[in-house]
Amino acid sequence: MTVYWVIWDAAAHWVVDRLERQGALPAVSRLRTHGMLAPARPAHPNCQTPPSLATLFTGTWPAEHGVTGYTVPGAGPRGLGSHISGFGPQFPAVPPVWETLGVRGAFVHVPWVFDGDDAVGSYVDAAVEAYSRRTVRHAVTEVTPGPAREWLIGPHPVTVEATADGVRVSAHDEVTLTPDGGWQPVWLTGERVGTWLACVRIGERRLLVHTGVWRPRYGGADQALLDRMRDCLPFAGEGVGPLYRAETFGTRLAEGGDGSAEEFFLSSVECTMRSFRTVTDAVLAGHDADLVVIYLPMTDDVGHEMLGFCDERSAAYRPDIADAIWSLIGRCYRWSDEILGRVLDAARPDDTVVLGADHGMVGSAHLVHLNDQLVAAGLAAVDAGGELDPDRSRAFYHPANNGALYVTEDGLMPRVKAVLRELPVPMRFLEPDGRPLDGDDTGDPRVTFVALHDDYQPTAGLAGAPPYVRPLRKVGAHVVWTGSDRLHAVHAAVGPGIAAGSAPGVIDNTAPARLVCRQVTAQSRTDRRKMSFMGNPPDFPHALSPEELTARRAEHVRAFLAGRDLDPHWLSGLMRERVGPGLLLLTSSPVHGLANPTSDLDFIRIQQAAIDGPRISTKIFQDGHHLEVVSFSEAELTSNLDELERLAALPPGETVAGIRGWDRKREPRRKQTERIVNGVTMDGDAPYLDWLPALATVWSRQSLHNALEQAAYAALAETAGETRGRVGYAYNTLVHLMDALLSYHGDVYTTRKWYVLRWTRLVADGCWRNDRVQAVATTLESLRKSVAAALEPSAAGRPLAGEYVSLALDVASATGTATGVKVHAEAGGNLMPFLPDASLLIGNGAGVVLPGAASLPLTDGPVGLADLARLDTRAAGTLLRALRAGAARLSITYRHEEPAA
pLDDT at 6: 98
User: Is 355 found in the same domain as 372?
Assistant: no
Residues 676 and 591: beta-carbon distance below 8 Å: no
- Average pLDDT, integer, range 345-364: 96
| β 863-864/507-508 pair status | unpaired
Rounded to whole angstroms, the Cα distance separating 762 from 777 reads 10
Strand positions, DSSP E, 600-652: 601-607, 618-622, 625-633
**Lowest mean per-residue pLDDT among 188-197, 585-594, 872-881:** 872-881
**Closest of 656, 658, 688 to residue 674, by C-alpha:** 688
pLDDT at 528: 40
pLDDT at 577 over 90: no
User: Is 595 found in the same domain as 512?
Assistant: no
What's the longest Cα–Cα distance across the chain? Answer: 108
pLDDT at 533 over 50: no
pLDDT at 536: 34
**Closest of 499, 785, 554 to residue 686, by C-alpha:** 554
Rounded to whole angstroms, the Cα distance separating 682 from 569 reads 7
- Average pLDDT, integer, range 817-822: 91
- Domain boundary residue, one of 637, 661, 688: 688
Q: Which helix (H) or strand (E) holds 714?
A: helix 692-719
**CB neighbour burial string for 887-898, b if at least 16 within 10 angstroms, e if fewer:** bbebebebeeee
Q: How confident is the model at residue 897 (pLDDT cuts 50, 70, 90)?
A: low
User: Is 352 found in the same domain as 376?
Assistant: no
**Closest of 414, 427, 442, 423 to residue 371, by C-alpha:** 423
Rounded to whole angstroms, the Cα distance separating 467 from 452 reads 17
* 3-state class (DSSP) for residue 394: coil
Give me the amino acid identity at 495. G
pLDDT at 770: 84
Judging by beta carbons within 10 Å of its beta carbon (0-12, 13-18, 19+), is residue 127 exposed, middle or buried? buried
C-alpha 892, offset from chain centre: 24
pLDDT in tens, 603-625: 999 988 888 777 888 888 877 77
User: Is 5 found in the same domain as 85?
Assistant: yes
Percent of the chain with pLDDT over 70: 95
Rounded to whole angstroms, the Cα distance separating 667 from 265 reads 50
Q: How confident is the model at residue 443 (pLDDT cuts 50, 70, 90)?
A: low
pLDDT at 522 over 90: no
* 3-state class (DSSP) for residue 628: strand
Rounded to whole angstroms, the Cα distance separating 71 from 78 reads 14
User: Is 524 found in the same domain as 394?
Assistant: no
Please report, for the chain, how many H helices and E strands are present, in that order.
Answer: 26, 41
In a domain, 693, yes or no: no
**Closest of 308, 305, 304, 306 to residue 317, by C-alpha:** 308
Residues 588 and 556: beta-carbon distance below 8 Å: no
Rounded to whole angstroms, the Cα distance separating 273 from 392 reads 46
Task: Please name the residues in contact with 177: beta carbons below 8 A apart, sequence gap of 6 or more.
Answer: 166, 167, 168, 169, 184, 197, 198, 199, 208
CATH of residue 671: 3.30.460
User: Is 502 found in the same domain as 458?
Assistant: no
pLDDT at 375: 98
pLDDT in tens, 62-74: 989 999 999 999 7
In a domain, 717, yes or no: no
pLDDT at 328: 98
Stated length of the chain: 901
Angle CA 30–32–34, to nearest 5: 65
Look up the pTM and report it.
Answer: 0.64
Q: How confident is the model at residue 1 (pLDDT cuts 50, 70, 90)?
A: confident
pLDDT at 524 over 60: no
User: Is 662 found in the same domain as 554?
Assistant: yes
In a domain, 140, yes or no: no
Residues 10 and 303: beta-carbon distance below 8 Å: yes
Number of domains making up the chain: 4
Judging by beta carbons within 10 Å of its beta carbon (0-12, 13-18, 19+), is residue 742 exposed, middle or buried? buried
In a domain, 517, yes or no: yes
Rounded to whole angstroms, the Cα distance separating 112 from 127 reads 11
Residues 428 and 436: beta-carbon distance below 8 Å: yes
Backbone angles phi, psi at 171, to 5 degrees: -135, -130
**CA R_g for the chain:** 32
pLDDT at 898: 43
Structural domain including 48 reads 1-129+217-233+257-361+482-528
pLDDT at 531: 33
Bridge-partner residues for 502, per DSSP? 36
- Domain boundary residue, one of 688, 706, 721: 688
Dihedral sign from CA coordinates of 512, 514, 517, 518:
negative
- Average pLDDT, integer, range 43-55: 97
pLDDT at 532: 31
User: Is 86 found in the same domain as 35?
Assistant: yes
Dihedral sign from CA coordinates of 371, 375, 378, 384:
positive
User: Is 682 found in the same domain as 594?
Assistant: yes
Strand positions, DSSP E, 179-301: 184-187, 194-202, 205-210, 213-214, 217-219, 291-296
pLDDT in tens, 382-417: 999 999 999 999 999 999 999 999 999 999 999 999
* 3-state class (DSSP) for residue 809: helix
> CB neighbours (10 Å) of residue 133?
15
Give me the amino acid identity at 210. H
pLDDT at 541 over 50: no
- Domain boundary residue, one of 432, 448, 471: 471
Dihedral sign from CA coordinates of 503, 507, 512, 515:
negative
In a domain, 866, yes or no: yes
Backbone angles phi, psi at 299, to 5 degrees: -65, -30
Residues 493 and 514: beta-carbon distance below 8 Å: no
Residues 430 and 480: beta-carbon distance below 8 Å: yes
* 3-state class (DSSP) for residue 473: coil
Angle CA 404–407–408, to nearest 5: 135
Q: Which helix (H) or strand (E) holds 500?
A: none
User: Is 462 found in the same domain as 593?
Assistant: no
**Lowest mean per-residue pLDDT among 109-113, 164-168, 437-441, 555-559:** 437-441
pLDDT at 826 over 90: no
Residues 232 and 282: beta-carbon distance below 8 Å: yes
pLDDT at 78 over 70: no
Percent of the chain with pLDDT over 90: 67
Rounded to whole angstroms, the Cα distance separating 679 from 688 reads 7
Rounded to whole angstroms, the Cα distance separating 270 from 211 reads 11
In a domain, 788, yes or no: no
In a domain, 533, yes or no: no
Q: How far is CA 137 from CA 153, 241, 644, 766, in A?
A: 9, 11, 44, 68
Rounded to whole angstroms, the Cα distance separating 322 from 779 reads 77
pLDDT at 98 over 60: yes
Give me the amino acid identity at 749. Y
- Average pLDDT, integer, range 454-468: 96
Task: Please name the residues in contact with 323: beta carbons below 8 A apart, sequence gap of 6 or more.
Answer: none
Q: How confident is the model at residue 442 (pLDDT cuts 50, 70, 90)?
A: low
C-alpha 380, offset from chain centre: 35
Of the two residues 525 and 558, the one the predictor is more confident about is: 558
CATH of residue 3: 3.40.720.10
pLDDT in tens, 735-776: 999 999 999 999 999 988 889 999 988 888 888 888 889 999
User: Is 68 found in the same domain as 27?
Assistant: yes
Bridge-partner residues for 213, per DSSP? 136
Angle CA 844–845–846, to nearest 5: 90
* 3-state class (DSSP) for residue 57: helix
In a domain, 9, yes or no: yes
Of the two residues 460 and 580, the one the predictor is more confident about is: 460
User: Is 371 found in the same domain as 357?
Assistant: no
Q: How far is CA 51 from CA 48, 81, 532, 565, 851, in A?
A: 6, 19, 41, 58, 47
Rounded to whole angstroms, the Cα distance separating 167 from 27 reads 40
pLDDT in tens, 209-261: 999 999 999 999 999 999 999 999 999 999 999 999 999 999 999 999 999 99
pLDDT in tens, 120-157: 999 999 999 999 999 999 999 999 999 999 999 999 99
**Lowest mean per-residue pLDDT among 4-18, 589-603, 615-629:** 615-629
pLDDT at 538 over 80: no
Residues 529 and 545: beta-carbon distance below 8 Å: yes
Of the two residues 682 and 527, the one the predictor is more confident about is: 682
Rounded to whole angstroms, the Cα distance separating 208 from 220 reads 37
What is the overall mean pLDDT for the chain? 90
Q: Which helix (H) or strand (E) holds 549?
A: helix 546-563
